[in-house]
Amino acid sequence: MIVVGAGVFGASLARQCALSGWDVTLVEAVFPGHVRAGSGDESRIIRCGHGADEWHTASARRAWTLWHEIDPSLVVRSGVLWFAHREDGWEAASERTLRALRIPCSRVDPREMFPAFAGDDVGWGLFEPEAGVLRARDATRVLAEQALAAGASLQLAAARPSGAGVALDDGRVLEADRVVWACGAWLPRLFEGLELRITQQYVFYFVASAAWRTPGVPTWVDYDEAAYGVGDVDGRGVKVCSDREGPTGFDVDGDRVPVRAHEARARELLAVRFPALARAPLVGTRVCQYELTADTRFLVAPHPSYDNRVWLLGGGSGHGFKHGPALAERVERWISGEEAPEPMFGLGARVADRALRTAGSGVPGSS
């Protein structure tokens, strides 16, 4: 097997298959966890709440278990707190699903969870006490290291398709019974006609006192307002992000300079919810990318031209870390033919839907 791309999807799959006895070659153009990768930021949220969707809720819980087995030091158990603006919103649907699957959750008062909080528009909070944050860049590196320890080999080279094989930039062509392309935002360049929307996203880190340290301060998500944030993990500052979809057509190989309007949006979020931090110094930024299908579900499918030998694995955006190692377990069974692949991740037409992401509910007043 050849896996091209050592982000969270590719590295998870290489590790899973190597542990199962496959002969695995992992190909990566730069290095696992490099700064331009969709898997390359310092932190990613891991949470099980996915509204009424039981498949993704169960998958995230399985991934939570696997991350603790892979390396418990990668998991920062901060808890994840959802701000509910309505009694019958996405948070209530998540609560029903979590309880049905026996995943711990409770209703809390958000004002009791932060050093300072402004929330007259927040009716209640849904708290997942066992959820939290993954040290993302480190996690990607650890997945690749464990794949190599299990017998996989790593080729650091740019790659492109060559029929069912993999052409490397040094002129070699690699071939295998199965080739999986897990190249994130670079997939549409490699496979013409692939419907992935590449958007430019922004991450901002702000100075905060020790009172905002995580663990201690929970990770938070405002689904209706398309925003989320993480307390100060490892001294990097409080992380604040708008999850509104950024400009499309982002050049993943170009400059990565945040624009002032997006910093202003991050400060607006702080001013509304955590006014004590509204004027905090900005100490770090990151421009990253999402690669999104129309319905924001993953892409896991065989390429129709190569009789199940070539598979595409993508559509992860920032969402992939919640599922990476759990999805790898399933993908191994799908590519081996042990199980039929999940149709909702196929190459066919999809109905636009953003319910799995915190991109805003579309209710009046939301993002």
pLDDT confidence tier of residue 359, bands split at 50, 70 and 90: low
pLDDT of residue 362: 41
d(CA 232, CA 280): 13
pLDDT of residue 244: 86
pTM above 0.85, yes or no: yes
pLDDT confidence tier of residue 248, bands split at 50, 70 and 90: confident
CATH 3.40.50.620 matches 2-345: no
For 326, the token pair is 């759990």
- What pLDDT, in 10s, does the model give residues 194-217? 989 999 999 999 999 999 999 999
Cβ-contact 27, 2 below 8 angstroms:
yes
For 89, the token pair is 């919103």
CA distances from 321 to 46, 175, 209 (A): 7, 29, 28
- What pLDDT, in 10s, does the model give residues 1-27? 999 999 999 999 999 999 999 999 999
| Domain range annotation of the chain | 2-345
Percent of the chain with pLDDT over 90: 82
d(CA 91, CA 81): 10
The residue among 35 and 272 whose pLDDT is bigger is: 272
pLDDT confidence tier of residue 274, bands split at 50, 70 and 90: very high
CA 124 and chain centroid, separation? 26
- What pLDDT, in 10s, does the model give residues 44-86? 999 999 999 999 999 999 999 999 999 999 999 999 999 999 9
Give the up-direction half-sphere exposure of residue 313: CA atoms within 13 A in the CB hemisphere. 31
d(CA 44, CA 134): 5
Other Cβ atoms less than 10 A from the Cβ of 307: the count is 9
